[in-house]
Amino acid sequence: REVSRSLNSCLAMAPDLLSIYFNKRNAPYVIWTVIALVCALFFWLSRTPDKSNTSSQSSESKTQRGKRRTASICIDELLQQLPAGAADAAAATFLQLCGSFEVFTFSLAQHDKAEEEALQALQRMGAFDAGLKRHRVMFSASPEGRSSMVRQLQPGVHIEASATVAESLAGKVREVRLIGSPEYPSLKEAVCFSVM
């Protein structure tokens, strides 16, 4: 009986409390606040599980399973100006690199015709069939420009034929392999897959 009496007294006070807090002046604020809270509650309850955890886990496993490492290479001296026998060996090594890594190539070109000639040489060699992507063939007008582009790219390894460019990249890129150095006398040694 006492419980029902206290319940009845609370119910009797409810209209008085509502009239204190809910009047013509603040009614729109109260109504829109309630609507916003109901919408927020609806969206919160109807949302899907957090996909960021599953996507980060799947991207980590994808990186471990299928993503190839990045490598960049200067193709000027290495592939274009070599004697016939050395060019064939360098081309075979380069094609193997294209099949195993995400390769970015750099070449010096002063004009569009030089760029087109380099692209045609890569096409004839079969680089695009081996895995090199056309949008990853980059050109610069100077060795300094190439150095800057490699720094921006930040590849896992950069294979370079110019000592000045290799020196400018030292400490700024994870690994620079200079062709013609005692450690990497030719492209074949620079593209040592067990070390990378």
SS3 (DSSP) at 60:
helix
Threshold 0.75, pTM exceeds = no
Angle at 38 between CA 34 and CA 43, to 5 degrees: 150
Cα 166 from Cα 145, distance rounded (Å): 13
Cα 152 from Cα 178, distance rounded (Å): 19
Q: Which percentage of the chain shows pLDDT scores above 90?
A: 33
Q: Are 71 and 196 in contact (CB under 8 A)?
A: yes
Q: First vs last Cα of the chain: how many Å apart? A: 84
Q: How confident is the model at residue 27 (pLDDT cuts 50, 70, 90)?
A: confident
Q: How confident is the model at residue 154 (pLDDT cuts 50, 70, 90)?
A: very high
pLDDT averaged over every residue in the chain: 80
Q: Are 82 and 90 in contact (CB under 8 A)?
A: yes
- Average pLDDT rounded to a whole number, residues 113-142: 90
pLDDT in tens, 44-89: 888 766 555 555 444 444 444 457 789 999 988 755 655 556 667 7
Q: What is the pLDDT of residue 13?
A: 65
SS3 (DSSP) at 25:
coil
Q: What is the pLDDT of residue 66?
A: 56
User: What are the phi and psi torsion angles at 25 (to 5°)?
Assistant: -75, -40
Q: What is the pLDDT of residue 158?
A: 93
Q: What is the pLDDT of residue 32?
A: 87
Q: How confident is the model at residue 104 (pLDDT cuts 50, 70, 90)?
A: very high
Element (H, E) at 70: strand 70-74
Report CA dihedral (177, 181, 182, 184) to the nearest 10 degrees: 40
Q: What is the pLDDT of residue 63?
A: 45
